[in-house]
Amino acid sequence: MRPLPVRLPPGCDLRHALESLARDQFQDGAFVLCGIGSLIDPRLRLAGESEEARYEGPFEILTLSGTVTPQGAHLHMSIASSAGDVRGGHVVYGNVVRTTAEVLLVQAAGWELLREPDAATGFLELVARRRQVEDEP
């Protein structure tokens, strides 16, 4: 496992920044194991919906996880408003970091993560392929 702990500064687009980091640091893809931080006016795509939901104001990132491949990210997060109301869903573009986002990316040694079309879902879905690591027999 190759970890990469990162802090994203204010003003970053959360998804764009994670996709860019993964492209630069993990050409074979990576897992987003966890993340916390804050967002301003966050956006989520909720289960079964095609349009994104938008929320006004500052929100805390309670959880963030998923995968990032050369074809893009599949991330889910839960967020809490200043009143403590919690929402969760699929991370879309346009989630702007308010003060910080602290994220742990991890590459699984010997594995290549890709997204390929899936006939059953109609979406690009995760495919994990085993690669031989240099120090393996």
- pTM for this one? 0.88
Tokens of 54: 């938008």
Parallel, antiparallel or unpaired: strands 58-69 and 72-81: antiparallel
Q: Is the pLDDT of residue 125 over 60?
A: yes
pLDDT single digits (tens) 70-119: 999 999 999 999 999 999 999 999 999 999 999 999 998 899 998 999 99
Q: Does domain 2-130 match CATH 3.30.1330.80?
A: yes
∠ CA 21-25-29, rounded to 5°? 85
